[in-house]
Structure 1
Amino acid sequence: MAAQVGQWSVPIDFNNVPVHLSLLPTGKILYFGRRDDPKVPVNGTMDQQYTRAFVWEPEQFSWDPAMKMSRAKPNDDKPGRSQPTANQPMNSQNKETVNLFCSGHCFLPDGNLLIVGGHFRDGLGIDQACTYNPWTNKFTPHTPMNGGRWYPSALTLPDGKVMVMSGSVKDNAPYQPNNVSQIWTSDPAKPWEEAISALTAGGPQALALYPRIHLTPTGRVFMCGPNPQSWFLDVKDANGADIKTRIQDGPNVREVTGRWVDAKAPRPGGFRDYTPSVMYNKGLLMYIGGGQDGQRPSNEVAFINLNDNQPQWSQGPNMAKFRRQFNATILPDGTVFVNGGTQGPGFNDLDEFAIHQSELFDPYEKDPATGKLGRWSNMAPETFDRCYHGTSLLLPDGRVLSAGGGEWPGGRPQDCLTLAQFFEPPYLHKPDPRPLITAVPPYTITYSQNFTITLGAADPPVKQVSWIRLGSVTHCRNMNQSFLWLDTFKQSGTSLTIKAPDSPNVSPPGHYMLFVLSAKRIPSIGKIIQILPAIGNKPKRLAGPSGPSQEPTEVTAPTPNIQPSPDQANAHLTALKGYPPPVTIGITPLCPYGLGPCWAGAYEGLSNISDIEVVCPVSNQSDATASVYLTSDITLPDIEKWREEFSRTVNASYKMRGIELTLSGVVAKTGDKLVLVETGREELTLGPFTKESQVRWDNERSAPKGVTKEEMGAYTRLDAEMKKHSGGKFQVQATGTLQKQAAMDGGKFLLEVREFKVLG
């Protein structure tokens, strides 16, 4: 049976919850969690300001090929025991410890792990940047970033630099995604390059947290989620030089790297978060499951071929299970292993909602139902709930380490899992022998180089060679994972000569696991090999689906400040377009971190409302509100229509609480009621502001904010103002909550006045 569905090992106990998990070039594993002691109740200890990181050797609990099982070394009664790192991560002044929980990380060409961002409090990130050296077992702090980043993504580029994108900031605009990406250069003199802001004209405007970013075969950065609209971020021209864009920032002009390009490839399934995307072969990308709070997650899988001239997403085949909060891991035979997740409608529903059944996607087998390539198969069920903060990592011996889970506000101590398991894929249980690599080059290789490895004397002929980048995973995101078949090789006896990848666009410089496979697709134990660019080799953005390869013309693109507040962003839009005051919309997300960190889905939903022309790219976290500008100055927004259109995109992930509008017009009296006329729109009845009128939200209390006496008395003061004006009419600017009255009242609009000022 294990030869068809695989097998799970007995549990082993780690020193902490492995929320962050990385396979090091040494073959060891670095992991760290959220706090020092996950066994205590979830309380104030959740926001500690230091990191306890550990290193573990998989050989302590290795694969026994004779017994066909994972087991501890003889006389080792604690196979999960780990050694702490030689030091704790510190800030750049080496004066204060930092918490690297909720950071992003990927490997540099030299094998050091770059770690960016981290945790101050849920939704608030730190500007920390550090590297971990696998050989010295030490963290080294570096120059801080331009702002905090909580839930950032990091991607190694073809030239060995690293793109760092998104993450929620701590200061200036708290709980807002950092919209200005940066590029880590490893140059002590200038460690950071500023990349083009998402807020720049022509950019995506709203970056989700932990954006799903990948390298294309032409060297572009491709962002495919969680928002359904896909984007390219180009950083190089055809000669390998940085693309520079001039940015007008107030009175100043500065140059930044890169240019955003709309991929014009909407991904089916809408906004889908807490889910993996996987580059499972050269240019072949899959986006798996996921969903939004408040609805059942998806089992849909979307595919895109980035080798095409005009890449577009296609649908299916789909998983058997509906999942979010899960992981997807590329295996040496080119299959993709999926495990964990929840099928509940909440943020992280456990118990009966947790999915223990694992699945395997094989892109080279036909689906019996459709006859097309790409088949999902059920694998053996896992023992534990691997949901939010669960991790999965491929090891060189072909097993998958599954660990973590829990460590979130409101979680139970029993759900904070230090227990890990190994998944032993079906190929480990086949009766056929595994190929054996007995020797690899004792030096680094370079691109397009032929290198020779030695095989076992009794091995069957090699049919395939695979090449997998070392994994570095957290929050459903393996930021370092990629897969490539090395198709050019020649075997002579026990010698196998292989041609290294031709381009760093498909295999950025760094460390990879090399596997050889038999005709029955059974992989060897992998060997870790480092590839570096040849001296003087400058990676180029290749011609092809990227469009013209010549350097683009520099443009001047107006943008707000690097970290604009909501008021600054609105002022910029008003000055740029001459818009009237924006409409304020109250939005409550089901995400536990508030509207700022969970803004991307709401932005997408608001952008799809037909009456809205522009959505301010920065939300107001303190009030849980968004600002929008309308397509028409002569109609009033219909709250019920807006809710309907909004829900088509976001489903139940957000609740639209209400609309606040600012209008200028003439106040008159009809009977005993005040009305607002000559606004350019239809006549509005005016009414008093009450507790139920409040659009603004108190995140701490999970309730509307309190209403002041001045707000509740605004209508009365406006009525008194009428008596001061002869003729009974005067001009005002009134702000308040817009309501649509019932049909029995004519279905007209009512503005509940919160404040006003007399004009003229």
Structure 2
Amino acid sequence: MTRTVRVAAVTFLVLWLAASKVAAQTDPAVAGQWTSAAPLPFNSSALHLLPTGMVMFYGVRPTGTDTRLWDPATAITSLMPLPGYNVFCSGHAFLADGRLFFAGGHIVDGVGLPNSSTYDAASNVWAAGPNMNAGRWYPTATTLANGDVLVVTGKIDNTVGPDLLPQVFQVASGTWRNLTSAQLYVDLYPRMHLAPNGQVFNSATSQTTRYLGTSGTGAWTVVAATNTPGYRDYGSSVMYDDGKVLVMGGVDPPTSAAEVIDLNAATPAWRLVGSMAFARRHLNATLLPDGKVLVTGGTSGPGFNNTATPVFAAEMWDPATESWTTMASAQAVRLYHSAALLLPDGRVLTTGGDDITQVELYSPPYLFAGARPTITSAPAAVSFGQSYFVETPDAANIAKVRWIRLGSVTHAFNMNQRINSLSFSQAPGGLNVVSPSNPNLAPPGHYLLFILNANGVPSIAKIVQLGGSTAPAPALPDVIVTSLSYASGIFTSTVKNQGGAATPAGIAIGVAYSVDGVYRTWGGVTGPLAAGASVTIGTNGGPYTIPGGTHTITAFVDDENRFAESDESNNQLSRPITIP
């Protein structure tokens, strides 16, 4: 009798725990909620949130010529002007003035177009831009701190392979600048993020991650190797905070592993964090206004696009705990050519996957956590470092102010999204909010401005333009030589960084020593050198004995131009010396 009671009790406990788990997974306040909307006319391969609040999408292969608009308020699709060529498999990013910039496109699989163009949502007009050096299929486009756009890789055709030459589209002149010193084989659709030092960080798909400096003729430098073995293709990557990057998923067979790197560190290094509950490739990762990262879709089975093993459950990554939580499950299969996009109301739109026209929207748990704060008004445009007024009746209850750059996503990567937490203070009738002052952290363009209460519930966003059509010059280091001496074959100099930013971490600060204009030896230390700081640099190369007589010795800091400076003309110091 006692044993029977015990078995019954254990059985009840197991069933109760299982029921509790199911309830937790289906309670929208815990797991969020999926809803469906009217299907699209064709399966989409890309989503772009325009400054008007509408969403642009287009299809796969032949329907890459057919751009359409989708209205988040009504879930209705409408016609729009057409680009005049196939933008499927292009790279794309928003310009400072809100135009959506496209680079490359589709002829057939593996063969790219050299086209560039812009779509202006305000005027509803497409405009052709100058062609690139060659066709690009699967390139990545990244908006830089000054508003120009970097375009990297993309396949020329199936004989030549990828385009090795990175190019920068110069918005002011409408011309391309070639980074001829940075020609390197880079994987298709590389995951690229503008870093705090003004360079562009390549976080995936290779295990070797790098910076690409875009000043001058460009230069790649190795940053660190990831811990996850394999080629992280069709995984995703997000910059979830200033200079902090999370990568997850990808590889074949797919991995559940996730890693983070802090580019603000003196020596950035990848660090494993909690793994997802499901291995995935062809997933999408979306930044949310509460600072968390939502992962949706993908396949867990081996092979390029295993349709037999779709992952329906969403997962949420919390940067505070660096762990994942399994959320509600979608109905639609989201694999290759699927996309996910944050909307101004805080929901996430999911579409696509080959032959999938079904539209689903995910409402995160914060939409079930009580009343939402409201923004009554906010400025349409602000400048860098500006304090501006956001009118809200909920000012006393606001705990966070964040904005997220408008999304532009395809092939498991959002090329435009990034998030900033903004400083703010209460004011009568609202909040005084300060925009970022550093365009390396927030490049010019349009952002979704959210205010969040103490429960983490966000408002419906206002779309705010940062920086207008131009951005201030990003803060840069400026190294000079302040003293120079010589004794017994050894040169010694003092180098000061009088610029507004540290020199890049891990990049050498080299000094070339010459006598009477002829190079003789060198010295160096490894950065960073903080703004305002000085360092003594001796002789690392072989000592040089200066012959007797009167000579001129010179120290030339950063003689190989390893990093960009605010002033490149003040790097040398010369002085006379008499040797007995």
TM-score tier by shorter-chain length is: 0.7 to 0.9
Instruction: For residue 521 of structure 1, give the secondary structure of its aligned residue in structure 2.
Output: coil
Q: Which residue of 1 aligns with 2:277?
A: 320
Structure 1 residue 467: deviation in Å?
1.2
Q: What letter matches 1:543 in structure 2?
A: A
Q: In the alignment, is the contact (CA less than 8 A) between 1:390 and 1:403 conserved in 2? A: yes
AA partner of residue 270 (structure 2): W
Match status 1:546 vs 2:483? no
Pick from 65, 88, 100 the counterpart of residue 113 of structure 1. 100
Superposed counterparts of 1:339-488, under 5 Å: 339-351=296-308, 353-364=309-320, 373-406=321-354, 416-430=355-369, 432-442=370-380, 444-456=381-393, 461-486=397-422, 488=423
- Please report how far the alpha carbon of residue 83 of structure 1 lies from its aligned counterpart in structure 2 after TM superposition: 1.6
Query: Aligned pair in 2 of structure 1 residues 436, 417: CA closer, same or farther (>3 Å)?
Result: same
Does residue 291 of the first structure (1) align with residue 305 of the second (2)?
A: no
Change (3 A) 1:139 1:525: same
Does the 8 A contact of 1:307 with 1:545 survive in 2? no
**Which AA in structure 2 matches 1:185?**
Q
1:333-392, Cα deviation, whole Å (9 max, x unpaired)? 0000000000110111113x000011001112xxxxxxxx22211110000110000000
Shift of 1:12: 2.0
Partner secondary structure for residue 361 of structure 1:
strand
Q: How many residues align?
A: 462
The answer on whether the counterparts of 2:182 and 2:218 sit within 8 Å (CA) in structure 1 is no
CA contact (8 A) 1:26 1:134 kept: yes
Partner residue of 1:278?
Answer: 238
Corresponding position of 1:150: 137
Alignment partner, residue 562 of structure 2: none
Match of 2:170 in 1: 185
Alignment match of 2:45 (pick from 5, 19, 32) = 19
Asked whether 1:52 is paired with 2:33, we answer no
SS at match of 2:403: strand
Q: 1:334 to 1:536 in 2, by over 3 A?
A: closer
Q: Hey, what does 1:305 align to over in structure 2?
A: 262
Change (3 A) 1:551 1:278: farther
TM-superposed deviation, 1:551: 10
User: What secondary structure sits across from 2:376 in the alignment?
Assistant: strand
CA distance in 1 between partners of 2:508 and 2:438 (Å): 16
SS in 2 for 1:105: strand
Choose from 171, 176, 186 the match for 2:161.
176
Q: 1:196 aligns with which of 138, 163, 180?
A: 180
For 1:703, the equivalent position in structure 2 comes to: none
Deviations 1:272-294 (A, max 9, x none): 100110000111101101103xx
TM-score normalized by structure 2?
0.77
Q: Within 5 A, what are the aligned runs for 1:257-268?
A: 257-268=217-228
In proportion to residue count, which structure has more strand?
A: 2
Residue 549 (structure 1) shift: 9.5
Q: CA deviation at 1:502?
A: 1.5
Change (3 A) 1:175 1:393: farther
Q: Given the superposition, is the C-alpha separation of residues 175 and 34 from structure 1 closer, same or farther in structure 2, using an over 3 Å criterion? A: farther
Secondary structure class of the residue paired with 2:137: coil
The answer on whether the counterparts of 1:330 and 1:394 sit within 8 Å (CA) in structure 2 is yes
Equivalent residue of 1:13, what SS?
coil
Distance (Å, rounded) in 2 between the aligned partners of 1:362 and 1:145: 40
Q: Identical aligned pairs, as a percentage?
A: 39
Amino acid in the other structure paired with 2:65: T
Change (3 A) 1:142 1:390: same
2:79 alignment partner AA? P
Q: Which residue of 1 aligns with 2:529?
A: none
What CA distance in whole angstroms lies between the structure 1 residues aligned with 2:223 and 2:262? 13
* Match of residue 424, structure 2, among 481, 485, 489: 489
The answer as to whether partners of 1:212 and 1:277 remain within 8 angstroms in 2 is yes
Alignment-mate amino acid for residue 115 of structure 2: Q
1:130 maps onto 2:117 in alignment: yes
Which of 64, 72, 89 is 2:83 aligned to? 89
Shift of 1:469: 0.3
Counterpart residue identity of residue 336, structure 2 = Y
1:131-167 CA distances to partner (integer Å, 9 max, x unpaired)? 0110222221111110010000000000000000000
Q: Secondary structure at the match of 2:297?
A: strand
C-alpha contact (below 8 Å) 1:153/1:210 kept by paired residues: yes
Cα displacement string for residues 432-482 of structure 1 (whole angstroms, at most 9, x for unaligned residues): 21111000024x2111110111002x5651111111000000000100010
Q: Deviations over 1:26-85 (max 9, x none)?
A: 0001110125xxxxxxxxxxxx4960110111110xxxxxxxxxxxxxxxxxx4x32221
> 3-state DSSP class of the match of 1:31?
strand
Partner of 1:139: 126
Q: CA deviation at 1:187?
A: 3.6
Alignment partner, residue 73 of structure 1: none
Aligned partner letter, 1:531: L
The 5-angstrom pairing of residues 224-243 of structure 1 reads 224-235=203-214, 242=215
Shift in CA distance, 276/355, structure 1 to aligned 2, threshold 3 Å = same
CA distance in 2: counterparts of 1:485 and 1:10, whole angstroms? 31
* Residues 1:358 and 1:489: Cα distance change in structure 2 (over 3 Å): same
Work out the CA distance in 2 between the residues paired with 1:527 and 1:507.
Answer: 17
Question: Conserved in 2, the CA contact under 8 Å of 1:179 and 1:197?
Answer: no
What is the distance in 1 between the residues matched to 2:411 and 2:64? 20
Aligned-residue offset at 1:196: 3.3
Match of 2:199 among 215, 220, 232: 220
1:536: how far off? Answer: 8.2
Give yes or no for contact 2:52–2:121 (8 Å, CA) kept in 1.
Answer: yes
In the TM superposition, residue 535 of structure 1 has moved relative to its aligned partner by 7.3
Distance in structure 2 (CA, Å) of the matches to 1:175 and 1:346: 25
Q: Residues 582-613 of structure 1: CA distance to partner in whole angstroms, max 9, x if unpaired?
A: xxxxxxxxxxxxxxxxxxxxxxxxxxxxxxxx
Please tell me whether the aligned partners of residues 146 and 472 of structure 2 are also in contact (alpha carbons under 8 angstroms): no
Q: For the residues of structure 1 that align with 2:471 and 2:77, how far apart are their CA atoms?
A: 41
| CA contact 1:435–1:524 (8 Å) conserved in 2 | yes
Q: Give, as a single letter, the amino acid of the residue that structure 1 aligns with 2:442.
A: S
Distance 1:24 1:210 in 2: 22
CA distance in 2, matches of 1:552, 1:324: 46
- Return the offset for 1:548: 6.0
SS of residue in 1 equivalent to 2:298: strand
CA contact (8 A) 2:203 2:209 kept: yes
- Would the aligned equivalents of 1:34 and 1:99 in 2 still touch at CA under 8 Å? no
Which has the greater radius of gyration?
Answer: 1
Partners of 1:267 and 1:552 in 2: CA distance: 34
Q: Does 1:528 align with 2:512?
A: no
Q: In the TM superposition, what whole-angstrom CA distance separates every residue of 1:563-600 from its partner, at most 9, and x where no partner exists?
A: xxxxxxxxxxxxxxxxxxxxxxxxxxxxxxxxxxxxxx
Counterparts of residues 578-597 of structure 1 (less than 5 Å): none
Corresponding letter in the other structure for 1:546? A
| CA positional deviation for 1:538 | 1.5
- Given the superposition, is the C-alpha separation of residues 174 and 233 from structure 1 closer, same or farther in structure 2, using an over 3 Å criterion? same
8 Å contact kept, 2:97–2:469: no
Shift of 1:270: 3.0
SS in 1 for 2:142: strand
CA distance in 2, matches of 1:154, 1:551: 32
2:567 corresponds in structure 1 to: none
Normalising to structure 1: TM-score of the pair? 0.59
Distance in 2 (alpha carbons) for counterparts of 1:422 and 1:460: 31
Corresponding letter in the other structure for 1:156? T
Give secondary structure in 2 for the equivalent of 1:515: strand
